[in-house]
């Protein structure tokens, strides 16, 4: 929980007050006392650069794994080939952000109520340190200032896009339109030292993280509502501001948004959105080019788009067998989906081999905040049925639910029914992890990425020689 100066606990607030209210004197004190996130990053950098140089020099020739022909053909599953500082995914324990599991983040990171503040998780991803309330407050102020600088041309571009364009296409365009303000691109063309790349990358990354919520909210308001959008409130955190700009004043929804922004923010380096951002960035394309590419990957149905597919799947189950289906009816429905050759959305994972802890966090939230919600009850029935059915089918390496199996039902509960928008929410969250990693990539002076490739003929020849 944040300190009393910074927070009015939500039990005491009425509908006009906010669960994250900062006292002006406290803010001023924060500005005087606390090192900025950038300063803190700069302080930690020399030691980390030294460790990387040492491990490269002393251990550089050691073998970390091998690549089989099956892995080469099979999307490089299980091939460790990336350096990502921000998080690590364990097949059996799930995601750890800088060594902290999701439940640990919920306990240890500053919060407005219960769920971590998005600013706090971003601080953790960037520095590896659990921030104090004051550090989060300093970062929050910085992001608010930057959010207010959303360029006019970005607003115009979004307003002019066809309303029937998918939100992810719009989000990618919106992020790309920020590129005109890239500090990194300008500094690079002026000529800067490699050691200083990260400073400009940092400025861009912060601008992107600060501005992407309003871009997404504008897309939502234009496409589905009246096009009007609330101003950023300087007294609120990112989760609350984003919710308000989307049109939600319900503080339970603000908490859901904080949870949502936390659980989707990062999933180590190899997932499509993080990897695409990293790859494009390795060519020294600036953060806007890079994350726009990451968003294009997130838009795929096997990655981020699975959350909208999942909701469609849950609703069609209800449509077919009623709002409150029995487990037998759910089982029958799932088997029909599989027999028709489709995958069960929200189930399976390329790395995880257990129930995704991000699913568990959402299920806990649903049980606490909306215990009687019918759709959430269907989600829980699916959880009891689908793993067994997928195990019987025998193909899927991981028959358990992933993050996308629950998120749509939670959003539906609060009246966000436009499920083709859901992946855009994911995109706002994933910006936190991808941008933290982008800054590290430049800070650690990582080179352009350029793996080798072979032809089928090469593979055949290689196999014969072996
Ligand atoms: N339903 C039915 N079949 C499934 C399945 C599911 N949920 N998950 C995997 N399978 C099948 C695969 O299609 C594959 O079949 P073929 O051999 O016929 O091609 C087989 O089981 C083996 O696949 P796998 O090794 O277990 O899984 P992959 O690593 O290849 O793929 C996916 C991982 C997440 C893409 C996969 O499980 C899937 O398609 N799931 C449904 C879509 C989904 O929920 N995606 C979101 C993932 C989380 C995420 O990135 N969110 O952004």
pLDDT tens figures, 175-197: 999 999 999 999 999 999 999 99
Q: So which residues are the catalytic ones?
A: 303, 349, 404
CA of 317 to the centre of ligand 1 (A): 20
Average pLDDT value for the chain: 93
Any idea which of 10-14, 372-376, 399-403, 405-409 has the lowest mean pLDDT?
A: 10-14
pLDDT tens digits, 300-311: 989 898 888 899
Q: Residue 182: how many CA atoms within 13 Å on its side-chain side? A: 24
Say whether pLDDT at 213 is over 90: yes
Q: Which residue has the tokens 């793996």?
A: 451
Residue 36 pLDDT: 94
What's the start-to-end Cα distance of the chain, in Å? Answer: 60
The whole-angstrom separation of Cα 406 and Cα 16 is: 30
pLDDT tens digits, 85-131: 999 999 999 999 999 999 999 999 999 999 999 999 999 999 999 99
- For ligand 1, atom 41, the nearest C-alpha belongs to 345
Q: Which atom of ligand 1 is nearest to the CA of 347?
A: 7
CA of 400 to the centre of ligand 1 (A): 11
pLDDT tens digits, 33-66: 678 999 999 999 999 999 999 999 999 999 999 9
SS (H, E, C) 35-85: CCHHHHHHHHHHHHHHHHHHHHHHHCCCCCCCCCHHHHHCCCCCCCCCCCC
CA of 340 to the centre of ligand 1 (A): 15
More confident position, 305 or 138:
138
- Token pair recorded at residue 158: 């979004």
Pocket test for ligand 1, best of 343, 385, 427 (most atoms within 8 A of CB): 343
The whole-angstrom separation of Cα 246 and Cα 416 is: 10
Q: Does an H or E element contain 166, and which?
A: none
Q: What is the pTM of this model?
A: 0.92
Pocket test for ligand 1, best of 348, 402, 408 (most atoms within 8 A of CB): 348
Q: What percent of the chain has pLDDT over 90?
A: 89
Residue 108 pLDDT: 98
8 Å CB contact between 202 and 154: no
**Band of residue 31 on the pLDDT scale cut at 50, 70, 90:** low
**Band of residue 5 on the pLDDT scale cut at 50, 70, 90:** very low
**Band of residue 30 on the pLDDT scale cut at 50, 70, 90:** low
Residue 306 pLDDT: 87
- For ligand 1, atom 29, the nearest C-alpha belongs to 350
What's the rounded mean pLDDT across residues 213-230? 98
Say whether pLDDT at 439 is over 80: yes
- For ligand 1, atom 36, the nearest C-alpha belongs to 348
**Of 262, 254, 437, 426, the residue nearest 358 (C-alpha):** 262
C-alpha R_g of the chain: 23
- For ligand 1, atom 16, the nearest C-alpha belongs to 395
Residue 90 pLDDT: 95
Q: Which of the listed ranges 17-26, 137-146, 303-312 does the model predict with the highest average pLDDT? A: 137-146
Q: Does an H or E element contain 214, and which?
A: helix 197-224
**Band of residue 466 on the pLDDT scale cut at 50, 70, 90:** confident
Q: For ligand 1, which residues put their CB under 6 angstroms from it? A: 271, 302-304, 306, 338, 343-350, 395-398, 402-404
Pocket test for ligand 1, best of 356, 388, 396 (most atoms within 8 A of CB): 396
Is the CA virtual torsion 354, 357, 358, 362 positive or negative? positive
The whole-angstrom separation of Cα 404 and Cα 308 is: 8
Q: Does an H or E element contain 94, and which?
A: strand 94-97
Helix (H, G, I), strand (E, B) or coil at 331: helix
CA of 345 to the centre of ligand 1 (A): 8
- For ligand 1, atom 11, the nearest C-alpha belongs to 396
């Amino acid at each position: 929980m944040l300190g009393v100066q910074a927070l009015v606990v939500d039990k005491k607030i009425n509908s006009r007050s906010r669960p994250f209210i900062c006292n002006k004197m406290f803010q001023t004190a924060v500005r005087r006392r606390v090192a900025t996130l950038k300063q803190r990053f700069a302080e930690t950098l020399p030691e980390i650069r030294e460790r990387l140089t040492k491990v490269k020099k002393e251990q550089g020739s050691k073998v970390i794994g091998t690549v089989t022909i099956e892995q080469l053909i099979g999307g490089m599953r299980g091939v460790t080939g990336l350096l990502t500082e921000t998080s690590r995914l364990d097949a059996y324990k799930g995601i750890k952000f800088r060594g902290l599991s999701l439940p640990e983040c919920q306990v240890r990171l500053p919060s407005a109520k219960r769920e971590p503040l998005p600013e706090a998780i971003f601080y953790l991803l960037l520095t590896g340190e659990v921030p104090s309330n004051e550090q989060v407050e300093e970062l929050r102020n910085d992001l608010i200032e930057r959010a207010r600088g959303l360029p006019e041309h970005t607003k115009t571009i979004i307003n002019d896009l066809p309303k029937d364009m998918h939100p992810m296409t719009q989000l990618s365009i919106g992020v790309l339109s920020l590129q005109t303000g890239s500090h990194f691109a300008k500094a690079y063309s002026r000529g800067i030292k490699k050691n200083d790349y990260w400073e400009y990358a940092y400025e861009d990354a912060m601008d992107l993280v600060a501005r992407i919520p309003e871009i997404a909210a504008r897309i939502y308001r234009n496409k589905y509502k009246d096009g009007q959008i609330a101003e950023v409130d300087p007294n609120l955190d990112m989760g609350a501001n984003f919710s308000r700009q989307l049109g939600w004043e319900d503080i339970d929804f603000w908490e859901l948004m904080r949870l949502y922004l936390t659980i989707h923010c990062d999933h180590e380096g190899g997932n499509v959105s993080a990897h695409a951002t990293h790859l494009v960035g390795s060519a020294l394309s600036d953060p806007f080019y890079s994350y726009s590419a990451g968003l294009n990957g997130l838009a795929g149905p096997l990655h981020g788009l699975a959350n909208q597919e999942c909701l469609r799947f849950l609703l069609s189950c209800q449509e077919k067998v009623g709002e409150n289906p029995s487990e037998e009816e759910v089982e029958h429905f799932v088997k029909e989906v599989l027999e028709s050759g489709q995958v069960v959305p929200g189930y399976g994972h390329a790395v995880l081999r257990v129930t995704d802890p991000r699913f568990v966090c959402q299920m806990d939230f649903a049980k606490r905040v909306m215990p009687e919600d019918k759709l959430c009850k269907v989600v829980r029935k699916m959880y009891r049925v689908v793993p067994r059915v997928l195990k019987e089918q025998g193909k899927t390496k991981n028959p358990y639910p992933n993050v996308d199996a629950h998120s749509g039902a939670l959003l539906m509960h609060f009246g966000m029914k436009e499920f083709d928008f859901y992946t855009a929410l994911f995109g706002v969250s994933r910006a936190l992890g991808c941008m933290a990693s982008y800054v590290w990539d430049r800070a650690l002076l990582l080179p352009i990425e350029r793996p080798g490739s072979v032809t089928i003929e090469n593979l055949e020849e290689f196999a014969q020689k072996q």
